[in-house]
Structure 1
């Protein structure tokens, strides 16, 4: 049975809360390694991107990001490019494009450059899978 990315992400979070012989970092790494490479890179870039945007005065409360809303993100080697992404800040969604470099194992983002676009109207959220 193939687990969905969401299920694997939940597994990663659950594994962090359980005590085991592995450290929490090892448990998270093991869970992330079960994800397909492109999903692993997306998750690393989302973490890095949200951290960076929260420091940004333009999007101080960024709390959600999706990398393939308007068009699919592309992973080439260790570079993820998303021209059709979206980011949520203060309960409003905005179009987003970004380029993110990740480590060879695709577990950590090393750079994240982005541009925020126009606000996405609330009446389009459901069609785009936003909430």
Structure 2
């Protein structure tokens, strides 16, 4: 797994282009909100790690359920959309429920998910 040394989701959320996301997050149930912040962290970390990826969506529970234990959201079966394709993704996201800030993050990008599996996992094609 690639371990992040700098957390990026707070910077992404502070960007003026993220206004709608900033406004929507407080309306979500806490667990969903924390998972969405981890999804933002995943997109930012992958984009920084490999410039050929341009993630525009992450679904933490696409291929397997997430687990939460001791402030760590583990997503062994996440999926990431980039360039019109979905890729397997796994991540561990340490996030504080109190501050709602990512404190640690590690990830692995896997192989592309075959298009014939997208519908089974509710992976939307690019519109």
TM over 0.5: yes
RMSD over aligned Cα atoms:
2.0
How far has the Cα of 1:107 moved from its partner? 2.2
Q: Distance in 1 between matches of 2:48 and 2:42?
A: 10
2:102 aligned residue (78, 93, 109): 109
1:100 equivalent to 2:100? Answer no
**In structure 1, what is the equivalent of residue 13 of structure 2?**
none
Unaligned runs of 5+ in 2: 1-18
2:39 aligned residue (46, 69, 90): 46
Calculate the TM-score normalised by the size of structure 2.
Answer: 0.72
Calculate the TM-score normalised by the size of structure 1.
Answer: 0.70
1:37 aligned residue (9, 30, 36): 30
Asked if 2 retains the 8 angstrom alpha-carbon contact of 1:37 and 1:106, the reply is no
Which secondary structure state, in structure 1, belongs to the residue aligned with residue 57 of structure 2?
strand
**In structure 1, what is the equivalent of residue 118 of structure 2?**
125
Quick one: higher RCO (CA 8 Å, sep 6+), 1 or 2?
A: 2
Q: Which has the larger radius of gyration?
A: 1
Q: Distance in 2 between matches of 1:58 and 1:114?
A: 15
How far has the Cα of 1:105 moved from its partner? 2.2
How far has the Cα of 1:60 moved from its partner? 2.6
Unaligned runs of 5+ in 1: 1-15, 18-24
Deviations 1:63-118 (A, max 9, x none): 11000011111111311001111011111111111000112326222222101112
Count of matched residue positions in the alignment of Structure 1 and Structure 2: 105
Q: Distance in 1 between matches of 2:38 and 2:113?
A: 21
